[in-house]
Amino acid sequence: GNSVTQMEGPVTLSEEAFLTINCTYTATGYPSLFWYVQYPGEGLQLLLKATKADDKGSNKGFEATYRKETTSFHLEKGSVQVSDSAVYFCALGGYQKVTFGIGTKLQVIP
């Protein structure tokens, strides 16, 4: 079956540091890949998505590239801000459902 493995947190970074959150997946078929973000006290929000191999999703300075050869979809940002503090979920769009990773908590300190 489908599964998503992402690095466990928490991740603590200083403001303006470079961020990488690793995500790998196992899937049948040709899934879409997503990153969702959950800010404190709020619901899940779609951050970015990629629908096929070599696609790059990007939003709010975050990027992730769909790598079929390494079955990965790592999230990156060149310079994080305090406002990026949240829980980030890597997810895989399968038939009729989305499979989520465990979530990685990011804390950015000034």
Question: Do 49 and 62 meet the contact criterion of CB atoms below 8 Å apart?
Answer: no
Q: The dihedral of CA 11, 85, 105, 70: what is its sign?
A: negative
Q: Shortest gap between Cβ of 18 and other proteins (angstroms)?
A: 24
Closest alpha carbon to 49 in 107, 40, 86, 62:
62
Q: H or E element: which one contains 97? A: strand 97-100
Hey, what are 70's tokens?
């390494």
Of 74, 101, 106, 108, the residue at the interface with other proteins (CB under 8 A) is 101
Cα angle 79, 81, 106; round to 5: 95
Site for other proteins contains 103 (CB under 8 A):
yes
Number of residues interacting with other proteins: please give it, by CB under 8 A.
27
Of 58, 65, 100, 107, the residue at the interface with other proteins (CB under 8 A) is 100
Site for other proteins contains 32 (CB under 8 A):
yes
Of 19, 25, 89, 108, the residue at the interface with other proteins (CB under 8 A) is 89
User: Smaller CB distance to other proteins: residue 41 or 110?
Assistant: 41
Which residues of the shown chain bind other proteins in the complex (CB under 8 A)? 4, 29-32, 34, 36, 42-46, 49, 51, 89, 91, 93-103
